[in-house]
Structure 1
Amino acid sequence: MANLDYLRGPRATLLVSLYARALESQSPSTILADDTSFDIAGRLQADWTRLKVSRGVQINAAMRARHMDIWTHNFVVRYPNAVVLDLASGLDPRITRVDPAPGIDWYDVDYPDIIAIRRPFFSERVGHHMIGADLTADDWLDPVPRDRPTIIIMDGVQPFISDSDFQSLFRRLTGHFRSGEIVLYVISKLAARLLPRNPVMQYLGIATAYPGFDDPHTPERWGLNLQLVEEIPLVKSILKSSLPLRFRLLFALIALNRKLSRDSGRVLRYSF
């Protein structure tokens, strides 16, 4: 398998998230139970020792992935002819965790070189497509059906795209599809300032491009007919019940403060 130690910048985030899910899957109190990520990490040539992924980072990655998996599963059950668009999918085996029924068209989208790395790990299955493209380009959506209910997943997009490009992406997505949902992980303004100081982010040359937002209603003011359906600060997630006691206590303490709750990471769900 390819050696991925060359990856730097936003592309390198796939290593951090993959390794976080892989480690979390081996915990006795695992939230995600993502054995596929563990298998992929074991097959890659990468110096994982350089990625000092803390237990907190593992929990963050697993909790946000699990919430998005649940939302996606519920959507494809509700709409058996749905389209799923997983943006900046990296090496995330979300399709294997959700395991959609025949009739669902699932599109994994990432940079062309990342899709080339991704392909060998996923066997062909009916309705599974991969698109190699820069999300800021205009034409990558052309082959994706526009007349079916669509759920769009953005787990690692917001921090690494400029404000104008982020809004343009939303505009293209809501203009292409008739109706659907957008689910995403978002960081606050404070988190956007602090993330580049993380030693792992510095080592991999990863900087934030988006200034973050605190008010979850911000995208509703972009004139795109978006409506906030659900906001889940991770420290208030029902998933915390399976965590070790020290994390449950820490989360409960942070959850007492609304601003700190949002600064600790949230997943949001919008309809359009």
Structure 2
Amino acid sequence: MDKIKIEKNTVQGTLIIPLYGRKMCSEKFPDLYKDNSAKELCERLDYDFSEIEKKSNSFLYEFGALEAAMRQLDIISEIKDYLKKHTKATIVNLGCGLDETGKACDNGLCQIVNVDFPDIIEIRKKIIPNRDSEINISCNLKDYSWMKHVDNSKGVIFFAAGVFHYFKIEEVKSLILELAKRYKGGCLIFDSVGELGVKLLMKTTLKNMGISGIDGLFYLNNPLKEINWSNEIKVSSKPYMLGYYNMRSPNIFFSHRLLANICDNFLKMAINRIDFK
């Protein structure tokens, strides 16, 4: 099969960061995290991974892989918790990229909706087959027309992984309040970092990937206070790295856990849940 070309220093290039991180973590920490599709997807992409591979054994790159995996596991935990009461809910992946979290959570009764820019969805369609109960929507998340495709009759849970960092705070607020108005009983899960964390993301992670010209705008230092925008929503938040799982694995060292604590407590890395009343 032909490989799909991904250019560096493009929005498409941001697909590589979490995907390669999940591949690395699956290889280095298999007792903690396993993602069989990540390696296969990387092999389907025409992208120069050489610079990443040179650094893949460094401590910081290993930790970056752990970060990508922990975010995935945390979000899966929240989705499965929602599905306990809403077994036939719609699962909506906002800014889906090449992520297959919807499939990982599906109990066989859910509908899965993936939303992203048209060029991203085109790549996704070529390398990730949809299930019968799965649809892709080509749309900017800031254009709310995609919402007309989302069924809330049996519950709905939205999630955004590594997406809102690139939004303005007013855009995140507008989106959340619109979801709260349309989807009573629904839920939104997303990750966030504090002001220092988003600055480090821009200066290190994206720079190392050869991606420039992308601004990080949205951050939360105190999610419980800063996104409590309406009486129609209920906000909860947990630390990102150690808030859900103990991060125990034979290949995880004290230094990994120390940095995880720093990320949670000083960089304010968090998984946030908003329930729509």
Superposition TM-score, scaled by structure 2 size? 0.86
Give structure 2 stretches of 5+ with no counterpart: none
2:91 corresponds, among 69, 84, 97, to 84
The answer on whether the counterparts of 2:224 and 2:237 sit within 8 Å (CA) in structure 1 is no
Taking the aligned partners of 1:28 and 1:232, their CA distance within structure 2 comes to 20
Structure 1 residues 1-272: aligned runs within 5 Å:
1-51=2-52, 52=55, 54-102=61-109, 104-198=110-204, 200-201=206-207, 203-205=210-212, 207-223=214-230, 225-242=232-249, 244-246=251-253, 248-252=254-258, 255=261, 261-263=265-267, 265-272=269-276
Report the residue type matching 2:101 in the other structure.
R
Task: Tell me the distance in 2 between the aligned counterparts of 1:243 and 1:71.
Answer: 26
Moved more, 152-161 or 228-237: 228-237
Contact 2:112 2:134 in 1 (8 A): yes
CA distance in 2 between counterparts of 1:138 and 1:109 reads 11
> Percent of pairs identical after alignment?
19
- The TM-score with structure 1 as length reference comes to 0.88
Distance (whole Å) between structure 1 residues aligned to residue 165 and residue 12 of structure 2: 12
SS at match of 1:42: helix
Could you tell me how far 1:206 is from its partner in structure 2? 5.3
| Count of residues paired in the alignment | 268
Change (3 A) 1:147 1:35: same
- Please report how far the alpha carbon of residue 224 of structure 1 lies from its aligned counterpart in structure 2 after TM superposition: 5.6
Deviations 1:152-194 (A, max 9, x none): 1111111111111111111222222121221111011111222
CA distance in structure 2 between the aligned counterparts of 1:147 and 1:237, rounded to whole angstroms = 29
The answer as to whether partners of 1:174 and 1:224 remain within 8 angstroms in 2 is no
